[in-house]
Chain A
Amino acid sequence: MGDSDSTSNGGEEKLIAVARHIAKTLGHSDSMTDDILQIFSTFDGRFSREKLSDAATMHAASPAAALDDCLSSIHRQISHAISSDAPIWLDPAESSAFLDAVDDLVATIRDFTPLARDNQAVAAALDRAEDLLQQALFKLEDEFRALIRRGTDSFDSARPGSLESSDSESEDGLPVAHPVTDFNIIIDALPSSTINDLNEIAKRMVAVDYGRECSHAYSACRREFLEESLSRLGLQKLSTEEVQKLPWPELEDEIERWCNSAVFSLRVLFPSERRLCDRVFYGFPTTADFSFMEVCRGSATQLLNFADAVAISSRSPERLFKVLDVYETLRDLMPEFELLFSDQYCVLLRNEAMAIWRRVGEAIRGIFMELENLIRRDPAKSAVPGGGLHPITRYVMNYLRAACKSQQTLEQVFEEERERGMAPASSLSVQMAWIMELLESNLEAKSKIYRDAALSSVFMMNNGRYIVQKVKDNELGMLLGDDWIRKHNAKIRQFHVNYQRSSWNKVIGVLKVDNANANANAGGSLKDRLKMFNSQFEDILKTQSSWVIFDDQLRDQLRTSVSENLLPAYRNFIGKFQTSPEAGRNPDRHIKHKCLFLSFDLKSSESKRVVAKYI
């Protein structure tokens, strides 16, 4: 390694080479002293240097002298660098000279060590050599650390809006965040030349069993960088309790930041650290693995702890969508966790990630359970006026529709439960069917508050209609199945029939007149019947004018069915009445409601206007 670079030291360099040769020979020879003398005499003739004569006068101590010379030569080269605070890696020539000197020192120690057993002087000199090496290694460690720090700083200053912040100034001077869309970028956390320098230092340190110190210095610096990056991403360190107590809107923001940070960490920051680690500790995979774990452990734990805290916190249904985000983020990052954290040191982190991901799934199931409770416990206290839509119907249906936008994820969440043997059928559709069942039984309980059976039916019709409408043509409908929808349409028809029965059949009954005994009916005279009809009809009109049918189509259906049943009966009755003797000369006097002004009002829940006047 560039032994003869410096001309002034050329002679000494050769001497070192000689000394090395001696040592090497000795290492494999039994008759050491003879060999030493012989080799030295060979060289004696070629170099008439005072060193060698010294060696001669010192008799058999010549290896120690040779070692001394080597050491003082190396000492001269590096002592200044060692004692100075100034960094030597600013100047490539200086740094490579330093590394060469270290290499020489290590080689010298290696070569002379076998001699030390029998030679006190060599042993003493080797002590000094070790000491010198120690100091050189301390210097290397300092330089290593400084290189990482300088590299990080220069990286920051060279790219002011570097990827961690992702911000830049727009034309009008406002900071604009560029959305990171391509995550296949791995940042070179340090300039390439720095990485090479670091690898050169690491090689020396690991080779002489200083790998721990090196790894220690490395991970301390990078850990700091990584933690800073995370906090720049806006991620706070929050305890489980703090997450529990955070007001929901704030936690929502925090979750959003977390999702972005997690993706950025697992797709950009950690892989970059992995690559840097592999390059700096190139050739030492165990040290690289260990250092990588040391660097990432804290940040990865911080990320996972937050997800864990979210999974443990409140299960109120409105949280579903954000918790789904956390679940999906973790799920999508599982391959990255697998890839990055699969070595012996990191495998615990990977397992933690898996466990926490599952726990978030559990939390989602818990949220659905909470929704079930919410429905189940919704009290049937006060009736919705006019038998209209109940808020819970709206809430649950819109909630489920929105939830089913994440159908695939939810399938996965509930499938997990199935895998554990909890439920043998398609779990999400079971879950949805179950919630619908709960909603319907809750609505049924609520329908019983109405004293009027017809209004009860109107209430069930309205809510049933809304449910079916919300279910149709979307994921929720697909989950529940066509059969479910068919059955529920049938249910609505059933309620329609019930309505018809309980509110109109009696009135229509009044109008039913047998042709045969039109004059002598048990129900009284036609005139009385007409009177009865008029009063009952008016009662119904009065009562039902405040009832609500929210759906136009349903209202049309009702109107049609009422008129189809009522009008023929009424026309028939009126016809009979007009021709009957009871009618007298002026039958119209009794007919309050001419065919054309039979009116039937049902309010539209939207406009609260009277919308239906028919016939």
Chain B
Amino acid sequence: MPATDSYQGSSSPLTSFGRSILSIRRDQVPTMDGSHDPTNQELELETFQKQVAEQFNELSSAGPDELLSLSWVRNLLDVFICCQEEFRIVLFNNKGYLGRPPMDRLIGEFYERSVKALDVCNAIRDGIEQVRQWEKLLEIVLCALDNQKALGEGQIRRAKKALIDLLIGMLDEKESNAALAHRNRSFGRNNGSSKDQKNLGHFRSLSWSVSRAWSASKQLQTMAYNLSAPKANDVMATNGLAVAVYTMSCVITLVMWALVAAIPCQDRGLQIHFSVPRQFIWAPPILSIYERILEESKKRDRKNACGLLKEIHQTEKWTRQMNELLDSLQFPLSEEKEAEVRQRVEELKPVFGTLKDGLQPMERLVREVFHRIVRSRTEGLDSLGRGGGQDFLILASGLCKRMDFDGKKDGISDAFLAQSCRLFSIACRAPVSWEVAVVQHKVPDSHRCVAEIFAQKLPSVFLAYFAL
């Protein structure tokens, strides 16, 4: 498996998932130009759509408390990875179509879309980092208020400072500058402490790793732009493959949109044109998720949220309430007030725990999504570039020439065996006997003798490759 070994440690189940499917399908022996048994292909495409539908059905069945929770978003990412993996296999089994119109255009558009998704992934990674900064501030609040000692003014002050940093940090970027001034005025009113005010605004939000001009909102719009169901003749011409590409385009667009909805990122915005004809079996759950998130974003208290993630919402709400509570305190603290504060602290703990345990795995998943998209794209470009069976012909004729020239039959060099092995592995990633290739590509008779010798030598090479 290329490229991703070093960071796959955490998500190896997914890797083995992909691998196992590949190995299951090996016995189907895909042919060189990828146009295997049409009924088989139909079945496969149908299975793919069904799987996408099933996965999203499960996601869309989440209750209102689950939707947009950290664990739900992680499920969403898992689902994406599964779909991506399935899609990869579909493409792999249908390589032969990729280079031909209209498939070349459709797959090209898909890859363009996926590059846009890569930027969303990077922006989301920044956003998760942002949330982790908030988690650290929550930790300070807990450190100040959740201890054995009686709650003193100092601890309250310490907690309050962290809370205010948190509130400012959580404001949507667009309004943060204006709000900063406003909050500075309104937060400092407690017991005339000018110090609180002075200490404000030290919490600088992290800068984004993308350019200032980059906008998640625009990115999503361009991803959704021209995302329309394939035309009947395209579907016909690609033997249905166009539908799979459309399915995956919708999946990737929805997933990226949902991530932007949930996680803070640069110039967030959810206005996209997203409509899917309901006749696709996966359309209802995907549309339901889309509509539910959209609805959530329109709720009054979520309109200006920096992210719809449940835990962010809870944190924000809690922070605001806690801030008000702390503002209202008179010292020395009455027992009931202290109990109230402690009660609130207890409320924070589960949210804090979820953030503490869930953010890093989520960040890794986002990264994994990134790597999967890149890999699938690279593989696609590779198989597009490989030029189908042409290489085998060149290989065969090259061998013929060489042998004619050398005048001996066993003149096949190791270099050629190595190269042919590479071609095989890139082109099919499955053991395909040379004879199959010869027959499939109508290798001229004169080349057949070479092919035979080749086939004799090849198994050992293949064994070496597939043993790894």
A interface with B by C-beta (< 8 Å): 83, 85, 123-124, 126-127, 130-135, 137-138, 141-142, 145, 209, 212-213, 216-217, 220, 223-224, 227, 236-242, 244, 297-298, 301-302, 305, 312, 315, 348, 351-352, 354-355, 358-359, 362, 366, 369-370, 372-373, 376-377, 417, 420-427, 429-431, 433-434, 437-438, 441, 487, 490-491
Q: Do residues B394 and A376 form an inter-chain contact, with CB atoms below 8 A?
A: yes
Nearest-neighbour CB distance to chain A for B397, whole angstroms, equals 7
Q: Mark B375-391, 1 if CB is under 8 A from A, else 0.
A: 00110011001110010
A263, B467: Cα distance in complex, Å: 39
Give the most central of A85, A217, A239, A417: most B CB within 10 Å. Answer: A239
22 A-B pairs with C-beta separation under 8 A: A130-B153, A131-B153, A131-B154, A135-B157, A137-B158, A212-B139, A237-B209, A240-B115, A241-B219, A301-B125, A305-B209, A351-B7, A352-B367, A358-B3, A362-B2, A366-B381, A425-B415, A425-B417, A429-B415, A430-B415, A430-B418, A433-B413
Q: Mark B395-410, 1 if CB is under 8 A from A, else 0.
A: 0011000000100000
- Name the segment of B58-66, B72-80, B196-204 touching the other chain: B196-204
Q: Do residues A427 and B418 form an inter-chain contact, with CB atoms below 8 A?
A: yes
Q: Do residues B122 and A134 form an inter-chain contact, with CB atoms below 8 A?
A: no
List of A residues within 8 angstroms of B419 by Cβ:
423, 430-431, 433-434
List of A residues within 8 angstroms of B418 by Cβ:
423-425, 427, 430
List of B residues within 8 angstroms of A431 by Cβ:
419
- Picked from B118, B129, B152, B413, the residue with its CB within 8 Å of the CB of A312 is B118
Q: Do residues A212 and B154 form an inter-chain contact, with CB atoms below 8 A?
A: no
List of B residues within 8 angstroms of A301 by Cβ:
125, 209
Q: Do residues B3 and A359 form an inter-chain contact, with CB atoms below 8 A?
A: yes
A406, B385: Cα distance in complex, Å: 24
The SS class assigned to the A binding surface is helix
Q: Do residues A421 and B143 form an inter-chain contact, with CB atoms below 8 A?
A: no
- Picked from B136, B154, B414, the residue with its CB within 8 Å of the CB of A130 is B154
A241, B204: Cα distance in complex, Å: 28
Q: Do residues B468 and A421 form an inter-chain contact, with CB atoms below 8 A?
A: yes
List of B residues within 8 angstroms of A297 by Cβ:
129
Q: Do residues A373 and B115 form an inter-chain contact, with CB atoms below 8 A?
A: no
Q: Do residues A370 and B385 form an inter-chain contact, with CB atoms below 8 A?
A: yes
Say if the beta carbon of B425 comes within 8 Å of chain A.
Answer: yes
A351, B377: Cα distance in complex, Å: 21
Q: Do residues B209 and A127 form an inter-chain contact, with CB atoms below 8 A?
A: no
List of A residues within 8 angstroms of B161 by Cβ:
138
Say if the beta carbon of B464 comes within 8 Å of chain A.
Answer: yes
- Known A354-B6, A425-B415, A441-B394: A134·B136 in contact at CB below 8 Å: no
- Name the segment of B210-218, B225-233, B279-287, B306-314 touching the other chain: B210-218
List of B residues within 8 angstroms of A239 by Cβ:
119, 122, 210-211, 214
List of B residues within 8 angstroms of A133 by Cβ:
154
A292, B158: Cα distance in complex, Å: 24
Q: Mark B321-338, 1 if CB is under 8 A from A, else 0.
A: 000000000001000000
Q: Do residues B154 and A373 form an inter-chain contact, with CB atoms below 8 A?
A: no
Q: Do residues B382 and A369 form an inter-chain contact, with CB atoms below 8 A?
A: yes
Q: Do residues A244 and B421 form an inter-chain contact, with CB atoms below 8 A?
A: no
Q: Do residues B115 and A312 form an inter-chain contact, with CB atoms below 8 A?
A: yes
Q: Do residues A131 and B152 form an inter-chain contact, with CB atoms below 8 A?
A: yes
Say if the beta carbon of B465 comes within 8 Å of chain A.
Answer: yes
Nearest-neighbour CB distance to chain B for A214, whole angstroms, equals 11
Q: Do residues B154 and A132 form an inter-chain contact, with CB atoms below 8 A?
A: yes
Q: Mark B343-387, 1 if CB is under 8 A from A, else 0.
A: 000000000000000000000100100010010011001100111
Q: Mark B114-127, 1 if CB is under 8 A from A, else 0.
A: 01101100100100
Say if the beta carbon of B182 comes within 8 Å of chain A.
Answer: no
List of A residues within 8 angstroms of B202 by Cβ:
145, 217, 220
Q: Mark B405-441, 1 if CB is under 8 A from A, else 0.
A: 1000000011111110110011000000000000000
List of B residues within 8 angstroms of A366 by Cβ:
378, 381-382, 385
Give the most central of B140, B422, B425, B468: most A CB within 10 Å. Answer: B422
List of B residues within 8 angstroms of A433 by Cβ:
413, 415-416, 419
List of A residues within 8 angstroms of B416 by Cβ:
433
A419, B122: Cα distance in complex, Å: 30
A141, B161: Cα distance in complex, Å: 12
Q: Do residues B464 and A424 form an inter-chain contact, with CB atoms below 8 A?
A: yes
